[in-house]
Structure 1
């Protein structure tokens, strides 16, 4: 009887945890649009509440402060991004397919998700000054580096070559090229996405020179 009661309490507790997590994800998705439009410095919890269907009090119940909300939002979005690229790794059968798929995915996310990427770079820059962001930013950055390295590693395997640089360098190169393209896109350069696609293709070829 005691064991049954304990199991029931565990199930109830897990359901409560799941509901809490789902609600946080819901709130983050609603807040993300406002955050991506205004950026960190210009956005307050009250501003987020005014631009969503949730009250200021509800936001504060699920998130301690703006820092926790923003880092949760960016973590959630970047985790989805990593999953998209992992799908390319799973489906690519040749080096050419991988190269084209990766380049197209990078160009596509630049066109479709520029405000979200802008928020990520804003948060990463803020972490240089605000220690409260640093741990989360480093964790997100490492997940993105691992994602890039999976692409580079598989490309090398499929092409019969070997990466010419270590993982941190490969990530830094792709990240730098993407950030430049993002700046051009936000500045109205119509060719930014196409230029990025071309750059990503060339980079993969150069990072695996013996391919």
Structure 2
């Protein structure tokens, strides 16, 4: 039997992952609109340039596709917030950039955030989601912690809570604001930004 060169296998695997990413990006809009329970692979194919057979070839089932979609989106989202941490030169600037970006995200990416919370809720009932959801959630928690610890460093202070408790506070604010936005409350993004501006400084103790 003739063996396949390592370079060829690597190239093939790269193309396979690239196509999976293309499919996931195409599927995000449909999933964000319909949610987990009401979306099938056939629905995703009908709302994209890909056939049902192609979608099924790259993803064994809906669980595999949705987790890939959410992982892809959250990675992109986290990269944008990490940029804020890197470019902010002082604590007030970091606070303002973080608050504004969270508010804007509610306004411009609500369907995708809704998909994340849908998936996280489903993981309470479906084992197939749980490991992936926990991993993604830990990644978002890590991002939140990087923001808060950087703010503390720029302020010359120390954090008052641990990583998990800190994340729970911001996640709760964000989910509540998202719900209000989806319910038609036009001020939800602005109110979220205001609450973040109030909360973050209170999570850091600064020596007088």
Corresponding residue for residue 183 of structure 1: 179
Corresponding residue for residue 205 of structure 1: 201
Corresponding residue for residue 139 of structure 1: 135
Runs of 4+ that moved beyond 2 A: none
Deviation track 1:101-124 (CA, whole Å, cap 9, x = no partner) reads: 100110111111000000000000
Once residues 166 and 37 of structure 1 are traced to their aligned partners in structure 2, the CA distance between those partners, rounded to angstroms, is: 35
1:92 aligns with 2:92: no
**Deviation, structure 1 residue 200:** 0.7
Corresponding residue for residue 124 of structure 1: 120
Match of 1:9 among 5, 12, 15: 5
Once residues 167 and 99 of structure 1 are traced to their aligned partners in structure 2, the CA distance between those partners, rounded to angstroms, is: 18
Once residues 138 and 202 of structure 1 are traced to their aligned partners in structure 2, the CA distance between those partners, rounded to angstroms, is: 28
Moved more, 52-61 or 121-130: 52-61
1:83 aligns with 2:42: no
Moved more, 9-18 or 39-48: 9-18
SS in structure 2 at match of 1:54: coil
SS in structure 2 at match of 1:162: strand
Corresponding residue for residue 25 of structure 2: 29
**Deviation, structure 1 residue 190:** 0.8
Gaps of 5+ in 2: none
Match of 2:48 among 52, 55, 62: 52
TM-score (norm 1): 0.95
Please report the RMSD computed on the Cα atoms of aligned residues, expressed in angstroms.
1.3
**Deviation, structure 1 residue 96:** 0.5
Deviation track 1:142-184 (CA, whole Å, cap 9, x = no partner) reads: 0000000000000000001111100000000000000000001
**Deviation, structure 1 residue 10:** 1.6
**Deviation, structure 1 residue 12:** 1.3
Once residues 189 and 209 of structure 1 are traced to their aligned partners in structure 2, the CA distance between those partners, rounded to angstroms, is: 34
- Count of paired positions: 206
TM-score (norm 2): 0.96
**Deviation, structure 1 residue 210:** 2.5
**Deviation, structure 1 residue 28:** 0.4
Corresponding residue for residue 106 of structure 1: 102
Once residues 48 and 136 of structure 1 are traced to their aligned partners in structure 2, the CA distance between those partners, rounded to angstroms, is: 21
